[in-house]
């Protein structure tokens, strides 16, 4: 198969190829293979998984196709080294964009079960050397993600892995992963420890006790625009104090009705302010579903635009409000789960 766009006819024509699922347009979506074949792909010649009796591997269809026939994903029979825009990389599973370019590379594709533990899988994870826009990074990873242009989009680190990277605000220790704008500018990273981030409202300690990165670190809790300015962060320790300018003219009895932003906040939350026109918004708590403590900390999520500051999704205009920071009010620890 020399043309990525002919993947459908080439895969389904092999002896032992069984179409297991169709797209709505009737074209094959998943193909099961019962014999060894070699596929010529943009990532090189790949041998899809054809031996199902492996308690470690995921039970997936070894070849997935985009509507119309282009390769979408290939689970490999054995781990091999492939060429990527970030350099040679080990792979057990690779995915492709609809246009044929490499999308994701997974060095390992194991399944945790009673027969295969996290420790077993971790023992197979080896550091990958990657050429990134911020320099060479060597780390154990879950996956590397590329834009259709070939530019590196994100790196998702192996659980427990830590690396130090260059950021617009200095070196940072990172867990979970980091990501880039297509231009190569750093888009986000997950701080491994509270990181002093300079923001439009002051310095905030950026740290998420329960980051959502998981399988894909495309957008992490500390985010930057292409110029290097902070656009969003999560803090588990600090509060942002919002002071409404309208109160000075309208009087405290007129608040929150005198300010559209404050009125929306009051209506949405049902909360009262101890001092009319002054809100101290920070992390909170919720009942723990399966954590090791009765309650879990809920970090404060903060966003910045040219016109407003967003606090847990509630926007306050920068023209109509003043902002300040109360630092280090909460203890910090990652949330751990017992289930």
Cα dist from 88 to 20, 105, 158, 163, whole Å:
32, 11, 18, 20
Q: Which of 3-7, 36-40, 236-240 has the lowest mean pLDDT?
A: 3-7
pLDDT in tens, 156-200: 999 999 999 999 999 999 999 999 999 999 999 999 999 999 999
Count how many residues are written for the chain: 339
DSSP 202-259: EEEEE--SS---TT--SS-SEEE-TTS-EEEEEESS-EEEEEETHHHHH-GGGTTTT-
Specify the pTM: 0.89
Higher pLDDT, 125 or 227: 227
pLDDT bracket for residue 248 (50, 70, 90): very high
Higher pLDDT, 152 or 334: 152
pLDDT bracket for residue 224 (50, 70, 90): very high
Output the six-digit token pair for 234: 């999560």
CA angle at residue 183 from 177 to 189, to 5 degrees? 20
32, 52 in Cβ contact below 8 A? no
pLDDT in tens, 268-294: 999 999 999 999 999 988 787 675 667
What's the confidence (pLDDT) of residue 3? 44
């Amino acid at each position: 198969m020399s043309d990525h766009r002919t993947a459908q006819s080439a895969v389904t024509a092999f002896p032992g190829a069984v179409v297991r699922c169709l797209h709505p347009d009737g074209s094959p979506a998943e193909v099961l293979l019962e014999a060894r074949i070699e596929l010529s792909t943009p990532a090189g010649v790949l041998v899809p998984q054809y031996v199902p009796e492996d308690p470690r591997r995921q039970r997936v269809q070894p070849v997935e196709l985009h509507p119309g026939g282009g390769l979408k994903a290939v689970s490999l029979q054995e781990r091999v080294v492939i060429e990527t825009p970030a350099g040679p990389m080990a792979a057990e599973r690779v995915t492709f964009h609809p246009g044929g370019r490499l999308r994701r590379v997974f060095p390992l594709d194991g399944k945790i079960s009673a027969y295969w533990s996290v420790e077993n899988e971790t023992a197979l994870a080896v550091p990958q050397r990657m050429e990134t826009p911020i320099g060479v990074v060597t780390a154990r990873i879950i996956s590397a993600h590329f834009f259709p242009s070939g530019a590196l989009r994100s790196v998702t680190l192996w659980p427990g892995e830590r690396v130090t990277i260059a950021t617009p605000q200095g070196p940072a220790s990172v867990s979970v992963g980091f990501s880039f704008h297509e231009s190569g500018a750093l888009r986000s990273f997950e701080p491994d420890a509270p990181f002093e981030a300079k923001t439009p409202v002051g310095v905030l300690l950026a740290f998420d006790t329960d980051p959502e990165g998981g399988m894909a670190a495309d957008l992490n809790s500390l985010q930057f625009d292409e110029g290097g300015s902070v656009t969003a962060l999560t803090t588990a320790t600090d509060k942002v104090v919002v002071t409404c300018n309208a109160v000075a003219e309208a009087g405290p009895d007129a608040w929150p009705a005198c300010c559209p932003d404050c009125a929306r906040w009051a209506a949405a939350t049902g909360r009262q302010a101890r001092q009319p026109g002054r809100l101290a918004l920070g992390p909170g708590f919720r009942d723990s579903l399966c954590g090791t403590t009765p309650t879990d900390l809920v970090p404060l999520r903060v966003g910045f635009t040219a016109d407003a500051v967003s606090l847990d999704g509630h926007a306050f205009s920068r023209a109509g409000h003043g902002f300040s920071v109360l630092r280090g009010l909460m203890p910090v620890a990652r949330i751990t789960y017992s289930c």
